[in-house]
Amino acid sequence: GFLYYMVNSCEFNSSKLNDIEYTQSYYYNKLEYVRFSSSVGKYVGYTEHGIKNAERWNNGPEVIARRAEKERYCFHNVGIFTESALTKS
């Protein structure tokens, strides 16, 4: 069989929006073939297929929508996580 999956992640050292990095990685059979990183601001391909997808997505509405994910997805969830962790420590 074949395995396809995506991983969204937020890496942070503080709850400040500038200190958060959002990434979305696409994998096929355990090989990452394309990634969006908020620090780069665009998709980067790592395989022939990934490079083609990155070019298409960087020239379409996908990249604009992905750039907003840092604030929508990460900032919201990091705030919840840090608040929860601080109240329990």
User: For domain 4-87, is the CATH number 3.40.50.720?
Assistant: no
Q: Is 37 helix (H, G, I), strand (E, B) or coil?
A: strand
Q: Where along the chain do its domains lie?
A: 4-87
pLDDT tens for each residue of 1-34: 789 999 999 998 876 667 889 999 999 999 999 9
Which pLDDT does position 89 carry in this prediction? 58
- Long-range CB pairs of 35-41 (<8 Å, 24+ gap) are 36/63, 36/66, 38/67, 38/69, 38/70, 41/67
Place of tokens 């420590």: 89
* CB-facing half-sphere around the CA of 29: CA atoms within 13 A: 3
With beta carbons less than 8 A apart as the criterion, state whether 43 and 58 touch: yes
pLDDT tens for each residue of 40-59: 999 999 999 999 999 999 99
